Structure 1
Amino acid sequence: MHYSAQKSGFLHSPGYPIKVAKLCAGLALIVLSGILSAAPESEALPLLIRNVTPVDAKHGLMQTQDVLIDAGHIQSMGKNLAAPTGAAIIDGQGRFLTPGLWDMHVHLSYDSRFIDIMPDLFLDYGITSVRDTGGDLKRLKPILASLYGPGAEAPRVFFAGPLLDGSPVVYGGNDESGIGEGHLTAAQARSKINALVAAGVDFIKIYEMVSPEVFDAFVVEASLHNLPIAAHVPLSMLASDAAPRVQSMEHLRNLEMDCARDADALLEERRVLLEAGQEQPGMSLRSSIHRAQRDPAIQNEDPARCERVLASLSATIQVPTARLNAMTQYPPFAQNDWGQALDALPESISSEWRKASMYMDPNSYKVAGEWTLGMIPRLAARNIRIGAGTDTPIGWAIPGYSLHRELEILVAAGLDTQIAFAAATLVPASFFGVEDRMGQVAQGYQADLLLLDTNPLDDIRHSRDIRLVILRGKIVRDHRRKH
């Protein structure tokens, strides 16, 4: 498996410097940065985990040993380590120490009902880092400030700001989430990137309605600021043209249109539809194009052309959100633990979501779901990196719980268990260029860790068997009393 990284991006969480240019962006950013820097990493007491078996996606199953954690990092690993004064000693005999998990595709501000509960749920399920792939900064910044306030416990958050869209905006206008913004010219695109840099974003997210000219401006300007790019394939472009210029692509969406025998004709048809549909709401225009082209493109694949398309993805992480795309094949409400997972949500949400089966058309995404599941092993066979993301809370995605379902579906689709585990540990770290300090159980790495009762490389479902969650070197969830 190839884990090359784009050496860009930075963390707002403790231990990572904020770029000098961003420190001068204004009082609001200074206040926010100060709050985020205040997370009490250094207050955690030393932890010594005795006789534990470390496991990660790079090294696999390691030798049973002691692991010493202090100042938010793994300080040393080996046999019979000396316990520092005041260290808490944990018996890890028969258990497994893994990196904390990531969800590469969440929207913290999408649904206000989730804002207060999302951080706790992520930690309950062992998710210690998330990538917020689109949010209104006016809503998102207060959320981030609260997550890193005094005494708060929350995953690390990497955020992009709004979906950088074209016209008409998909998530704009009357949409409650307000997570999309339109850009019609290259000058507007360049200006927006500079504004986002000043706002302190960790990456940018390009959406589906942008023109090729605006896409190009976003990419060029983002590269000047070393900002990684997550993107949907714009409807006005081919995946093979867009993919090499971004660091991740989301949902595998619009990839199938480039694999079709008549891909070039479909592209011209989309461009005509986009031009003629400027007075329509963005969501309805996009949906109508998908309905018209997606399933026929899948059913009309040109294998030789698709090989060339897949070759264009070699340096770009694919985040398939399989639990969303293949919901027809794997409906969440069909899981035995669905009701129990819903019990952790506020009644206003759980009562609504218990009726999910009433609202889902079982045939709505059947073809696309089967195509997604079939594409996952094809990507892996070509050493194309796959990232684990859920689109939480969209599509009945319970924060945390849905990440484990994503991993299980990736494996059910044919992904090797170790590669699936990498999708939620090493691959997200590589997107931000921090794989030299996150995503492994190794000396010097950030101490975002899980103590599991069973080995997740034997069965990916074992990633749920969490005994301890350690974040920045501090135990933030202790489930020992529940066992």
Structure 2
Amino acid sequence: MFKVLFALALTLGIAAEAQAQSEMLLSDVTIVDVIEGTLAPGQSVLIRDGLIAEVGPDISAASATRLDGAGRYLIPGLWDSHVHIFSSASEPDTALPLYLINGITGIRDMGALWPIAEQQALQARIESGEVLGPRLILAGAWVDASPGSWPGMFLADTPDEARSVVDRIAAEGWAAVKAYSMLDEASYLALAEAAHDVGLPFVGHIPERVALGTAIDAGQEGMEHFGRVAMACSTAEEAMLDELRAAMAEGAELDRVFEIMASRNRIILETWDETLCDAMLARMAEAGMHVSPTLVVADFYTGNWPAADAPRMRMIPAEVREAWGEPDFRLEAMTDEVRALAQDSIALDRRTFLMAHWAGVPILASSDASFANPYLFHGFSLLDELNLYVAIGLTPREALYTATVAPPRFFGLPDQDGTITPGRRADLVLLDANPLEGLATLRRPQMVVVGGQVLNRAALDGLEATLLERGQ
């Protein structure tokens, strides 16, 4: 069985003190309202039993541990809405502190190699404060056609099997049902209906044989990755789907299936239509289909990798770095045509992403970070993703919204909504500079509060030092 080997020294500076206190008063902070884009200087925040108890300029709390914010900027904690922290036995040992170091106090795991009971056990230890880590949502009940794209998936090759799988997912206590790439349309539609029948959100990939419009009509609430949006803006979407449907119905070998999928890049570039795209994005926005874009994944395919001596690399276990240096099946599957068109395809995705934002399609900032996904880093890659959003055309406030406000509201969390107000969970980040003017300040938070537990800068430095030492 997998066991968490969480061995980091977490009794660093104020962190240990905060864990022993039921009340803390964070004074003289400038509260950033990410929704309105406004600042409220000279505020204090009283934290009691892991929740925000009071917010205001003058708060009296004689028994509280006092922390001076020195006028710095306080934002809600960040979320990464698409990660995989359970792809190896000890991955949380590295992943959890990396998220906190980067101000990420909530993550949604979207597929794991651990049994659900062991995932839930770690989730409970985080919630109790026994393990220091971000809030964890377990939404990785991924369902695929046989034989499954990854180990440990739920499998469904017929509508009846899809309905049965959803019953198992509900019984095991997952937070959502996740569709995967190779489902046929009939099984996919049955999966959607069954998920809604049991009251679970229906999220995931748009299967390779299913049109985006079909997914909207089926009520898919959350879509992982962005490439299928650009494909839905192509006048040849249905023709591309039909080619793959026919090949798979005839029992085509996997190489032929991948060849058909790879050929789509050129077709999309040649047939992308702005008017059609506007109409599709309007449908997505009206339906409230949230998208977790994971645009940063493109860096892996284009070789935009950090240097071996970069701090983020040195915080990763040596055996993981070594595995990342081996040949990767995803890169080997890329054809010469895909490589030649890569930059044009990425540019079109980014153009379509900006149009989606303008159309009101809700975005959930996400990275796909995992030890199984080379050069996608827990924590760091989410900040890279936010920087991409700004480079594409979002304002810093709009980018922050996708990581602070949109995720907890989409997840339906009763104690979080991206605001710093009484009754909300005390997941907070204290920054040196105004993030509404630029996101660079996110790279070095001065304090992170997670579930009411405080990590000051010395504690965060200690976590970094421990990871660097372990990564040697």
Task: Please indicate the TM-score interval, normalised by the length of the shorter structure.
Answer: 0.7 to 0.9
Aligned partner letter, 1:344: M
Aligned to 1:402: 381
Specify the SS of the correspondent of 1:420: helix
Question: What residue is the counterpart of 1:7 in the other structure?
Answer: none
Contact in 1 for aligned 2:108/2:137 (Cα 8 Å): yes
Query: What residue is the counterpart of 2:122 in the other structure?
Result: 146
Contact 2:364 2:407 in 1 (8 A): yes
Name the counterpart of 2:148: 169
Distance 1:49 1:368 in 2: 47
Q: What is the CA distance between 1:54 and its match in structure 2? A: 1.0
User: Residue 87 of structure 2 contacts residue 114 of structure 2 at CA under 8 Å; is this kept in 1?
Assistant: no
Query: What's the counterpart of residue 68 of structure 1?
Result: 46
Alignment match of 1:413 (pick from 348, 372, 392): 392
Give me the identity figure in percent. 27
Q: Mean Cα displacement is larger for which, 444-453 or 267-276?
A: 267-276
How far off its partner does 1:272 sit?
0.7
> What TM-score results when the alignment is normalised by the length of structure 1?
0.82
Any conservation in 1 of the 2:139–2:175 contact (CA below 8 Å)?
Answer: yes
Gaps of 5+ in 2: 1-17, 463-472
Deviation at 1:410, TM superposition (A): 1.2
- Give the conservation status (yes or no) of the 8 Å contact 1:42–1:72: no
1:100 equivalenced with 2:73 (yes/no): no
Conserved 8 A contact 2:105-2:427: yes
* Structure 1 residue 364, shift from structure 2 partner: 6.9
Structure 1 residues 355 and 145: alpha-carbon distance in aligned structure 2, compared to 1, 3 A threshold = same
Structure 1 residues 137 and 213, CA gap change in structure 2 (3 angstroms): farther
| Structure 1 residue 348 corresponds to structure 2 residue 325 | no
- Are the structure 2 counterparts of residues 465 and 115 from structure 1 closer, same or farther at C-alpha, using a change threshold of 3 Å? closer
106 and 482 in structure 1: CA distance in 2 versus 1, 3 angstrom threshold: closer
Q: In 2, distance between residues paired with 1:253 and 1:167?
A: 23
Report which stretch shifted further, 145-154 or 113-122.
Answer: 145-154
1:121-167 per-position Cα deviation (integer Å, ceiling 9, x unaligned): 111211111111112452x5324423543721121111124321124
Structure 1, unpaired ranges of 5+: 1-40, 172-177
Distance 1:68 1:356 in 2: 51
What code does the residue aligned with 1:141 have? A
8 Å contact kept, 1:72–1:473: yes
Shift in CA distance, 55/112, structure 1 to aligned 2, threshold 3 Å: same
The amino acid that maps onto 2:228 is: N
Matches within 5 A, 1:193-342: 193-244=166-217, 245-277=219-251, 280-281=253-254, 284=255, 287-314=258-285, 315-325=288-298, 327=300, 331-333=304-306, 339-342=310-313
Deviations 1:283-331 (A, max 9, x none): x565323212133213211222222221221111111111113556782
TM-score after normalising by structure 2 = 0.83
For 2:311, the aligned partner's letter is Q
**DSSP 3-state at the match of 2:269:** helix
* Partners of 2:226 and 2:293 within 8 A in 1: yes
Quickly say closer, same or farther: Cα 1:88–1:107, change in 2 above 3 A: same
Tell me if structure 2 keeps the 8 A contact 1:454–1:465.
Answer: no
Deviates more, 1:147-156 or 1:191-200: 147-156
Assess if the C-alpha contact under 8 Å between 2:102 and 2:444 holds in 1. no
Superposed displacement of residue 77, structure 1 = 0.8
* Displacement after TM superposition at 1:464 (Å): 1.8
What CA RMSD, in Å, does the superposition of the two structures yield over aligned residues? 2.7
Q: Partner residue of 1:37?
A: none
- Shifted more, 400-409 versus 153-162: the winner is 153-162
CA distance in 2, matches of 1:356, 1:93: 49
Residue aligned with 1:108, SS? coil
Tell me, in whole angstroms, the C-alpha distance in 1 between the residues paired with 2:123 and 2:390: 32
Q: Structure 1 CA distance, aligned partners of 2:408 and 2:105? A: 12
Task: Please list the CA deviations of residues 237-275 of structure 1 after superposition, one character each: whole Å capped at 9, or x if unmatched.
Answer: 111221351111111132233221222222211211222
Runs of 4+ that moved beyond 4 A: 41-44, 326-330, 351-357, 359-364, 480-483
Relative to its length, the structure with more helix (as a share) is 2
Kept in 1, the 8 Å contact 2:112–2:140? The answer is yes
* Secondary structure in structure 2 of the residue aligned to 1:424: helix
- Aligned CA distance change for structure 1 residues 128 and 339 (closer, same or farther; 3 Å): same
- Aligned to 2:394, the other structure's residue is in SS state coil
2-structure distance, mates of 1:143, 1:211: 29
Q: Is the CA contact (8 Å cut-off) linking 2:223 and 2:289 kept in structure 1?
A: yes
Q: Which amino acid aligns with 2:268?
A: A
Per the alignment, residue 11 of structure 2 pairs with none
* Closer/same/farther in 2, CA of residues 300 and 119 from structure 1, 3 Å limit: same
Within 5 Å, give how 1:98-137 maps onto structure 2.
98-112=75-89, 114-136=91-113
1:73-104 CA deviation, whole Å, 9 max, x = no partner? 1111111210241x111111220111111111
Contact 1:376 1:414 in 2 (8 A): no
> Which SS does the other structure have where 1:290 is aligned?
helix
Change (3 A) 1:59 1:330: farther
Residues 327 and 369, structure 1, Cα contact 8 Å, conserved in 2: no
In terms of mean alpha carbon deviation, does 364-373 or 468-477 score higher? 364-373
Q: 1:352 & 1:56 partners in 2: Cα distance? A: 42
Contact 1:232 1:253 in 2 (8 A): no
- Change in Cα spacing, 1:481 to 1:285, as seen in structure 2 (3 Å) is closer
User: 2-side partners of 1:322 and 1:194: how far apart?
Assistant: 33
What amino acid does structure 2 have at the position aligned with 1:429? Answer: P
For residues 155 and 127 of structure 1, the distance between their equivalents in structure 2, rounded to whole angstroms, comes to 7
